Amino acid sequence: MTKDEKFTNYYQTFSDTVYRYTYGKIKQIETAQDITQQVFYLFFQNMDQVPDSMVKPWLFLCSKNKVIDEVRRMESQRKALYKGYLSEILTVSEDNTERLVERIVQEQLSFRILCDLRNKNESWYRIIEAVCVMELSQEEAAECLGISRQVLTAKLYRARHYLWGKYGAEYKAL
């Protein structure tokens, strides 16, 4: 009997049992099917090392380990989602009306500043956007914009000087 025929025989004999075991633990059809396929793929790779008398226990042990891995993965995803949800709730609950109004005013000022800067000088706008908005280092920003670091530094200084002169008092009032 060839390896493929032997594998096909084992697959036909045990695939439903392994699937039912996996589904009983996870209660998700697609995940149980995926795990069953992974188990039989591993079995095919390691078939020569597994004695015939140990095939069924090997399949169930492998299935159990895959289920444990999947449960851990799902739990870590749940924790990540829960942390994101909690931080969102805390942000909303911390924001009272004053704080919300403050944030809206700051966003409007930022929008006006960026629009004005874009109309005044496009290269200043791109530099401020890269360094201040996207928070790139000056070296990274210069490389992205295709200019030297010295030119970027000079234009950044001029742009900040212009913005501070035009919007400094309004910014301090916030």
Instruction: Kindly tell me the number of DSSP H helices and DSSP E strands found in the chain.
Output: 7, 0
**DSSP-assigned states of every residue in 43-56:** HHHHTTTS-GGGHH
What CATH architecture applies to the domain 3-90? Orthogonal Bundle (1.10)
Please tell me the distance from the alpha carbon of residue 34 to that of residue 125, in angstroms, as a whole number: 50
Closest CA to 117 of 166, 50, 76, 47: 166
The CATH T-level fold of domain 96-173 is Arc Repressor Mutant, subunit A (1.10.10)
Look at the pTM and tell me if it is higher than 0.85.
no
**Does position 74 have pLDDT exceeding 80, yes or no?**
yes
Chain segment 83-137, per-residue pLDDT in tens: 766 666 666 555 566 677 777 788 888 888 888 888 999 889 889 888 888 888 8
Closest CA to 3 of 39, 36, 37, 52: 52
Please tell me the distance from the alpha carbon of residue 142 to that of residue 138, in angstroms, as a whole number: 6
Q: What is the pLDDT of residue 144?
A: 84
Give the pLDDT mean for 19-26. Answer: 93
Mean pLDDT of the chain: 87
Give the pLDDT mean for 52-70. Answer: 93
Q: What is the pLDDT of residue 59?
A: 95
Indicate the domain borders of the chain: 3-90, 96-173
